[in-house]
Structure 1
Amino acid sequence: MNFQMTESGFTTTFEHGNIHISGDETQGFRPYQLLVSSIAVCSGGVLRKVLEKRRMVVDDIQLSAEVQRNEEEANRVEAIHLHFRMKGVDLDEEKIRKSLDITFKNCSMAQSVKDSIRLTDSFEIVS
């Protein structure tokens, strides 16, 4: 990956387009937003695969992330809580709970921050 300095931050180009990164959210994505997005989307993608392998039919997964930051320590991300809202056929809560445990063990982004950011999760089945 290559990053080029701009007037308000940095930019990089990937296969699907450019990303503008800046501490000023009016000028681009803030770094912590990209960090949280990476963990959330990685976890969601792994969960989807785990549920498919368990033959659970999931029609939709929506994710929300609640972020706890510490202003006294460079505004670092200390905790992320991911809430999964799932829609599907005959979803079993116990199997989903076990699937989430497997998910975080197999998500490369979650594993990358496991000793520095506290990750928690919850879920609900919606109709």
Structure 2
Amino acid sequence: MSHKVITHWKGNLQFESDNPNGKLVTMDTTPEHGGHNSGLGPKAMMLSSLAGCSGLDVVSILKKMKVPFSDFRIDTYGELTDEHPKYYHTVSVEYHMYGKDLDEEKIKKAVDLSIDKYCGVMEMFRKFADVKTSIHYHNV
């Protein structure tokens, strides 16, 4: 299976990129780097991709396991190298699960399956970064 993405320059430092499903995303940079903040930053989008990939796994697994939860949030932090080309050398992924009487054992199993087996973006990140993960349970 292969994916094709077309990224088109829209003027100044703004680009628009499609997705195999046809959706579009706008990328830009900050004014200090000559942009207008009119879109998402490419590096930060990588962190979003990591969280989205793993989040899709976790929700799918929890639904199959019939594990209830009321909310789910992933906080992802990336530390960039000081020298160019700057890339994330360390990444932290914090899984925040919310609900009443959360089944922590099953939630941990779902997160671990994503981290260790299913999330391809996580595997890609491991090729260039030290990835740390944690789960935070919020019984509300």
The TM-score normalised by the length of structure 1 is 0.84
1:2 correspondence with 2:14: no
1:68 correspondence with 2:68: no
Give 3-state SS (helix, strand or coil) of 2:37's partner: coil
Measured against aligned partners, the alpha-carbon deviations of 1:44-95 in whole angstroms (never above 9, x if no partner) come to 1101111222221122101111111112242211122111211234322233
1:34 correspondence with 2:45: yes
Structure 2 alignment gaps of length 5 or more: 31-35
Distance between the aligned counterparts of 2:46 and 2:118, measured in 1?
A: 17
1:12 to 17, 34, 48: 17
Determine the structure 1 residue equivalent to 2:128: 116
Aligned CA RMSD, in angstroms, stands at 1.9
Structure 1 alignment gaps of length 5 or more: none
Equivalent residues in 2 for 1:88-99 (5 A)?
88-99=99-110
Determine the structure 2 residue equivalent to 1:87: 98
107-116 or 40-49: which moved more? 107-116
Distance between the aligned counterparts of 2:64 and 2:125, measured in 1?
A: 26
Structure 1 residue identity aligned to 2:81 = N
Determine the structure 1 residue equivalent to 2:137: 125
Give yes or no for contact 1:12–1:20 (8 Å, CA) kept in 2.
Answer: yes
- Rate the CA distance shift 1:44–1:35 in 2: closer, same or farther, 3 A: same
1:48 correspondence with 2:34: no
Distance between the aligned counterparts of 1:96 and 1:73, measured in 2?
A: 39
Give yes or no for contact 1:78–1:118 (8 Å, CA) kept in 2.
Answer: yes
Instruction: Give identity over the alignment, percent.
Output: 21
Structure 2 residue identity aligned to 1:124 = H
The alignment covers a number of residue pairs equal to 126
2:27 to 21, 35, 39: 21
